[in-house]
Amino acid sequence: DAGITQSPRHKVTETGTPVTLRCHQTENHRYMYWYRQDPGHGLRLIHYSYGVKDTDKGEVSDGYSVSRSKTEDFLLTLESATSSQTSVYFCAISESSHRGLRNEQFFGPGTRLTVL
Amino acid sequence: AQSVSQHNHHVILSEAASLELGCNYSYGGTVNLFWYVQYPGQHLQLLLKYFSGDPLVKGIKGFEAEFIKSKFSFNLRKPSVQWSDTAEYFCAVDTGGGNKLTFGTGTQLKVEL
């Protein structure tokens, strides 16, 4: 398995509180991604990063922000959590985005977040 | 926008039955295609991938998939399923070389003894 850890693995919080999820990799991969997984929706991309301090929005970025100050860490922040953000959050990494090179994504173990 | 359809949401099979899960995508250009599996309580793992070349690709655990460009399809198959194949299966499409994956909604497979 790729060296990806997520913390915390489980979190319960209240509406309106800030929450930060951390993804840490030991593979030195350039690309990192945050997805949320919800029943009936599969996985949807929230934000991704293509390098240190380089990030971009995904399909469902509203209410989320990210930061990447080091290659190995990608943080996802919910500035003011809402019940609609109750979900399982997965981090993924990828070695390259260049076509023709190995570019599958490897996933972390996930964080189950409940917003009451 | 790119979309991926998995028409079978829940599939129940007996052990040794054959499996075929459908996946269709909407993008008309060059694509990279993936099937991921998620066993209960675990993270997603790559089953197989198609980048180019032979449209019939073989993955782990006896799974294979066929890319049919004219049908915009990438169906997953296994000749004989096992109870341990019980999991959720996701098709994903990358149209940008790895920047973003668009996932289907998943197919929940239950294999009964």
Query: Chain B closest CA to A16's CA: distance in Å?
Result: 28
Reduced to 3 states (helix: H, G, I; strand: E, B; else coil), residue A1 is: coil
Check residue A96 and give its pLDDT: 66
CA distance B44 to A89: 12
Residue B99 has pLDDT above 70, yes or no: no
**Least Cα separation, residue A97 to chain B (angstroms):** 4
Choose between A8 and A94: higher pLDDT: A8
Cβ contact, residue pair B97, A58, below 8 Å: no
Q: Is the pLDDT of residue B96 over 70?
A: no
Q: Determine whether B27 is exposed, middle or buried from the number of CB atoms within 10 Å of its CB (0-12, 13-18, 19+).
A: middle
Percent of chain A with pLDDT over 90: 78
Distance from CA of B44 to the nearest CA of A (A): 6
pLDDT of residue B72: 94
Averaged over A71-99, what is the pLDDT?
Answer: 90
Alpha-carbon distances of B11 from A91, B3, B17, B21, B107, rounded to whole Å: 28, 22, 12, 9, 7
Q: What is the tens place of the pLDDT at every residue in B31-82?
A: 889 999 999 988 899 999 998 899 999 999 999 999 999 999 999 999 999 9
pLDDT at A98: 55
pLDDT 10s digits, A15-39: 999 999 999 999 999 899 999 999 8
- Is the minimum CB–CB distance between B45 and chain A shorter than 8 Å? yes
Q: Span B97-109, mean pLDDT?
A: 84
Say whether pLDDT at A102 is over 70: no
Q: Residue A21: its pLDDT value, please?
A: 98
Is the pLDDT at B83 greater than 60? The verdict is yes
* pLDDT, mean over chain B: 92
Residue B8 has a pLDDT of: 87
Determine the residue of chain A that is closest to B89 in CA distance: A42
